[in-house]
Amino acid sequence: MKQKFLSQILPCMVIFGLCGCSSSDSDGNIVGPDRKSSAAEEPIESSSSAKEVTPVDYSKGAAMNKKLGNGINFGNTFDATCETCWGAGPVKPEQVALMAKLGFKTARLPVRWDEAASKEAPYTIKPEYIARIKEVLGYFKDNNMRVMMNMHHHASFLNDMVNGMPNEANAEYNLTRVDSIWAQISREFKDYDNDFLLFELFNEPVNGVSSDLYNTMIQRTYPIIRKHNPGRTLVYNTYPWGGYAGIKKLVLPENDGNVIIDVHYYEPQLLTHQGHNTKCDVNNPVKWLGSRAEKSKISTDFDNMRAYADARFPATNPEGIPITIGEFGVSTCNNLDSKAKWIEFVVETMDSHDMSWQYWAFTSVGGFEFYNKKSNTWEVSTLEALGIDPSLVEGQFPPSSASISSSSSTESSSSIDTSSSEATSSSSEE
């Protein structure tokens, strides 16, 4: 979402990480999201494909959104090129159990179906991949956590560009492949309780997936998904990069009140993306002090978010169309105090707007995490900002035996070392 010259954007067409075009650490792991520009600051005109809509009763979606409450992203696991390739995986039952213990009601599960599906018709997803996803869903179900499962880092479509524009010649192929993948997902997961599993269509459409192509994708996949999942809540991210201004251009299925809009919030990016969009200067990090002006900017963003949604999607229910903040967070750059202040205020603001949320992310996501898997330490101030009692993580998890790089510079006085002789004895399981 931050300004970036074309020379910086082009390498990102090769590989996507976290929330879009990504940066990597010294080991080549994709660790942090880069953004082209701030969707919150870019005026977006109404889409030519949009048309006036009659008010809809979004009470079903709103009821589910209330149940989602506060959540956590399990990023850099199934959205990576393989579950363990980027350091956060594999997802383990004890990790899920702890997230539930910490009070998270929902997990957002990013999935790179693109890697697991054939490039040739009928674009079959590997059975073993589906089986593993189902196994992990069982972890969440066993711990009474809901799951928002999506299509993440669909690089074959996102990167399909010609001269910096979407490759229209391949548009039908790309859309048909997405149709087929969602047809398989909708069949394979149709028997999961509607109260447990939500489908999020596509994470952060941008680059090769234009606004018009994304809206076409929404309309094409909707009947495919609804055929086997008539009562499931469907979640729709915004173009571009999940920014809230994209609400103005979003075209949702008509007369379906069991939907939720997913917005991602990382403003101001000079703060949140240090070490990704900009260099992390540990001696002079960008800070967020919680001043009246700083808070006013965030409050205005969320007021506008709500206003855009109400104007674009008039509702008959008092809550309006529901909004979830599917991603938000700050990359640590010797700035834990600022990170905590920002998170605490954003959480307060989301809660005051009746928005559910999912923090980005649990571990090994380039500094956004609150758990450092390599050092087996937790950011106390970040946990507290999210409303979590830090004492709940004491003695949790062994140090990792794997070499997992962390690009973060943290203030060691604000972390808990959870290593113990008991934990270390099982370190081979990590």
What digits encode the pLDDT tens for the residues 163-208? 999 999 999 999 999 999 999 999 999 999 999 999 999 999 999 9
Is the per-residue pLDDT at 94 higher than 60?
Answer: yes
Q: What is the number of structural domains in the chain?
A: 1
Which two structure tokens, joined as six digits, stand for 88?
Answer: 């956060």
* pLDDT at residue 397, as a whole number: 74
Is the per-residue pLDDT at 39 higher than 70?
Answer: no
- Which of 28-42, 270-284, 385-399 has the weakest average pLDDT? 28-42
What digits encode the pLDDT tens for the residues 340-365? 999 999 999 999 999 999 999 999 99
Residue 1 in domain: no
At residue 67 the predicted structure's pLDDT band, cuts being 50, 70 and 90, is: very high
| Strands, E assignment, 247-309 | 259-265
**What span, in angstroms and rounded, lies between the C-alpha atoms of 430 and 426?**
8
* pLDDT at residue 415, as a whole number: 56
- Three-state secondary-structure class, residue 426: coil
**What span, in angstroms and rounded, lies between the C-alpha atoms of 366 and 375?**
14
Is the per-residue pLDDT at 25 higher than 80?
Answer: no
What digits encode the pLDDT tens for the residues 263-296? 999 999 999 999 998 899 999 999 999 999 999 9
Of the candidates 349, 337, 253, the one whose C-alpha atom is nearest the C-alpha of residue 297 is 349
Is the per-residue pLDDT at 424 higher than 80?
Answer: no
Is the per-residue pLDDT at 154 higher than 70?
Answer: yes
Q: Which residues pair with 73 in a beta bridge?
A: 108
Q: Which domain holds residue 166?
A: 6-429
Is the per-residue pLDDT at 26 higher than 50?
Answer: no
**What span, in angstroms and rounded, lies between the C-alpha atoms of 271 and 278?**
9
**What span, in angstroms and rounded, lies between the C-alpha atoms of 71 and 351?**
12
Which two structure tokens, joined as six digits, stand for 86?
Answer: 């980027």
Across the chain, what does the average pLDDT equal?
A: 85
Is the per-residue pLDDT at 376 higher than 60?
Answer: yes
What is the per-residue burial (b if ≥16 Cβ within 10 Å, else e) of 195-214?
Answer: eebbbbbbbbbbbbbbbbbb
CA distances from 73 to 2, 106, 127, 328, 368 (A): 22, 9, 24, 10, 11
- Which of 36-45, 329-338, 350-359, 367-376 has the weakest average pLDDT? 36-45
Of the candidates 321, 360, 361, 328, the one whose C-alpha atom is nearest the C-alpha of residue 345 is 328
Of the candidates 66, 57, 56, the one whose C-alpha atom is nearest the C-alpha of residue 354 is 66
The DSSP symbol for 90 reads P
**What span, in angstroms and rounded, lies between the C-alpha atoms of 281 and 304?**
32
* pLDDT at residue 398, as a whole number: 55
Q: What is the DSSP string of 226-268?
A: HHH-TT--EEEE-TTTT-GGGGGG--PPTT--SEEEEEEE--S
Residue 73 belongs to domain with CATH number:
3.20.20.80
Q: Name residue, tokens 């067409």.
A: 13
- Which amino acid is located at 256 in the chain? D
Is the per-residue pLDDT at 121 higher than 50?
Answer: yes
* pLDDT at residue 410, as a whole number: 38
- Which amino acid is located at 157 in the chain? F
DSSP H helices, 313-368, are 336-352
Is the per-residue pLDDT at 51 higher than 60?
Answer: no
CA distances from 370 to 48, 89, 378 (A): 42, 15, 6
409 CB neighbour count, 10 Å cutoff = 19
The DSSP symbol for 110 reads -
> Which of the two residues, 1 and 214, has the higher pLDDT score?
214
